[in-house]
Amino acid sequence: MSLTCSICQEVPESPCVSQVSGHVFERRLIEKYIQENGTDPMNGEPLTVEQLVDIKVPPSAKPRPPSATSIPAILKALQDEWDAVMLHSFTLRQQLQTARQELSQTMYQHDAACRVIARLTKEVTAAREALATLKPQTTQQPMGSAAATPQHPPPTPEHAAGDAQQATAAVAAAAALEEPSGMSDAVTGRLEQKAKELTAQRKQRGKSAPEGLCSVELVSAYRQLASHIGLHSASNPGILCLDAFLANPARVVTGGNDKTAAVFNTDAQQLVCVLHGHTKKVTSVAYHPYEEDLVFTGGQDSLVLVWDPRTAALRAHEDAVTALSVHPTGDFLLSGSRDGTWAFADIRAGRLLVRVADPAGQQPLTCAQLHPDGMIAATGTQDAQVKMWDLREQKFLTNFEQHTAPLTALAFSENGYYLATAAEDSTVRLWDLRKLKNFKVLQLGGSESGQPSGPASSHARALAFDHSGTYLAAGGGDIRLYHTKQFNELCMLDNHTAAVTGLRFGTNARSIVSCSLDRSLKVFGCGSD
């Protein structure tokens, strides 16, 4: 049974029935009729849209038009439909191919851009490091300064490559821990003879200050004269140690976190050379007192490297080297290590003479230095003790136990009577070696009890007496200068932005050179008189 509309006499798509007449209508047509007339078209009585009731019937297919009732007409309709589908499919395939080509081109351009960016980033980093390294060489000497002493030209890439190859070969040759050969009578005789000469020279100098020594007033007026930041790599910043050439303190050597050591001339503001050879951080450096082309470096790789025209390596320790000190004869080298031993080596013969461990227990050594006469050595340990050793007999002499935290630095005065020690308890203690007594305590920071307190940079990491023994410098969070007569503070220099790790006085204490974890090497002084 099918319903037909009373108006159009066709099967309605949305059938509805009138409550007034009961006839079936196409909703679209009856709503338009009601809107125009307001009555039922069958009996003329009033009718509203609300009085129409929808009829729920199953969907039915509309009858085909007469033109589609024959087989040829149906085949033509199907052919037209197929053609349309094929044309649409062809258009979609064309659009897909175009989209694939555009996507491939875009991905290729993106990949090329990433490669270019990576290459440029690498070149910029290398250029910055090269610029930082070359910058001190291009800095001109200030007007009115003294003429710089003749210096060796900066190393060429070929020389640098040769030095690196020599260092690599030396390191490979020192792969095994060297066995000590012992202290011969000839070595002992040389040490004793040099000690007698130095003692006699010290007595002749007497207690008077050397001529030309910088006055207390000028030291109190110290200010920054120069700052250099291009000695070590910027990618792994931080200078860990410093030493100066005795005959020309303007020539210094530094060791850094970047596994290299650098020789720099502060007067000429010139980087002399960069020493590559260590595989870990360079933690200690020493300059030969008489030969400006001979330096020593020690690193966390447990190696001691001797740098001269022929690089040599000495493996005297099993752990990081923490201290180096050249004997006054210039022929021997003392080294201390975190393996708890100190070693004494003949640098001319290239052999280890003795390696000594503390019989009371092997505490890591954090610092070590030879006495100016060269017959005793001092070591600082991780357990807050300062120990004195007889170099000739390799025997323990005495220890100082007043510190309450690990030792960080120690320094002998040139007069041979005083020893300065610094520790993480934020104190610097002065010892009289004649009485074996602590006679002065300098408080740098922390609590009054001497216990560690506040930032790590509050304790001293570097100590240095000037060559006359008149002034003492302590470097940590800042640099403080003291007069050794009463050990009163003369001035404080806070130009570094990180902990100070090395200090050395210039000739007659007219300047002082410092290095820091902020990657800078700074020169302080009183300027022109």
Place of tokens 């709503």: 31
Name, in order, each residue with C-beta under 8 angstroms of 302's C-beta and a sequence gap of 6 or more: 315, 317, 318, 319, 320, 321, 337, 339
- pTM assigned to the model: 0.66
Pairing of strands 471-475, 479-483: antiparallel
What confidence score (pLDDT) does residue 52 get? Answer: 93
What confidence score (pLDDT) does residue 132 get? Answer: 63
What confidence score (pLDDT) does residue 196 get? Answer: 87
Backbone phi, psi, residue 490, to 5°? -95, -40
**Alpha carbon 331 to its chain's center:** 35
What confidence score (pLDDT) does residue 71 get? Answer: 85
What pLDDT, in 10s, does the model give residues 138-156?
333 332 333 333 333 444 4
Sign of the CA dihedral running 21, 26, 32, 36: negative
**All structural domains of the chain:** 1-60 (3.30.40.10), 185-204+213-445+456-525 (2.130.10.10)
What confidence score (pLDDT) does residue 172 get? Answer: 58
Name, in order, each residue with C-beta under 8 angstroms of 194's C-beta and a sequence gap of 6 or more: 327, 328, 329, 373, 374
Using CA atoms, how far residue 280 sits from 71, 231, 314, in Å, is: 93, 17, 15
Cα–Cα distance measured from residue 241 to residue 516, given in angstroms and rounded to the nearest whole number? 8
What confidence score (pLDDT) does residue 501 get? Answer: 93
Segments of the chain scoring below 50 in pLDDT: 135-161, 447-456, 529
Strands of 427-432's sheet, edge to edge?
407-412, 418-423, 427-432, 437-443
What confidence score (pLDDT) does residue 349 get? Answer: 85
What confidence score (pLDDT) does residue 165 get? Answer: 59
3-state secondary structure of 201: helix
What confidence score (pLDDT) does residue 194 get? Answer: 87
